[in-house]
Amino acid sequence: MIVTVHDKMQKGYSYETVEPEGKHFDNFFQPQLTPFEMLELGVFEGKYLNDCQDEFPCRWFQSAKLSMTSDINCNYFKLKARMSLPQWREKGWIYGPDPRGWFQWYCRYYLGRRLPEIDKIQIKRWRLFRRHLVQIEKNCPILDFQCRPKQRQALLQWAYNPFI
């Protein structure tokens, strides 16, 4: 299937989905949450995909916590746990045809788009983020969600289960 994107950050970009939705992931990429689970739990202050919902399945947004402005109350842990997009650009963390960064890449990957070189970079970044999960495992009592809530919110935004 060909998906054509028309939103505030991309106009006329098209990609092909070559795998079934949510299937056939790289062996080194095993996210614990789907994009729609992440949106439902509350990520990116409710503002991340507001203008590009047409690109993704409607069901992803049925229970999503969304806001027209950044609102930390939309985040599961009710605090800010992200850098701004300009900061991501400054650090060189935006790759290929995904101007919104990692989560946009993940949404498109989940839908079945495959770009081997970009996928390799983003999967490596996702794997490196696991260090935050290790910090929670080492420093927090099991199921104490008040322990390191900012790291937990960040984990949620990288498709890791923060509820350990």
Mean pLDDT (whole number) for 103-117: 98
Confidence at residue 84, expressed as pLDDT on a 0 to 100 scale: 79
Phi, psi (degrees; rounded to nearest 5) at 90: -55, -40
Contacts of 138 (CB under 8 A, 6+ apart): none
- pTM score above 0.85: yes
Confidence at residue 95, expressed as pLDDT on a 0 to 100 scale: 86
| C-alpha span between 84 and 122 (Å, rounded) | 18
For residue 11, list its beta bridge partners.
Answer: 6
Find the angle CA(148)-CA(43)-CA(132) to the nearest 5 degrees: 35
Rounded to 10 degrees, what is the CA torsion of 116, 121, 89, 49?
A: 60
Mean pLDDT (whole number) for 119-137: 97
Query: Does residue 134 have a pLDDT over 90?
Result: yes
Query: Does residue 125 have a pLDDT over 90?
Result: yes
Domain positions in the chain: 2-156
| C-alpha span between 56 and 111 (Å, rounded) | 8
Task: Note the Cα 41 to chain centre separation in Å.
Answer: 12
Query: Does residue 49 have a pLDDT over 90?
Result: no
Find the angle CA(88)-CA(53)-CA(97) to the nearest 5 degrees: 40
Task: Report residue 116's pLDDT band, with 50, 70 and 90 as the boundaries.
Answer: very high
pLDDT in tens, 65-99: 999 999 999 999 999 888 878 888 898 888 889 99
Report the percent of the chain where pLDDT is more than 70: 100
| C-alpha span between 132 and 96 (Å, rounded) | 25
| C-alpha span between 25 and 90 (Å, rounded) | 29
Strand residues in the chain grouped as ranges (E): 2-6, 11-16
Contact by Cβ (8 Å): 82, 57: no
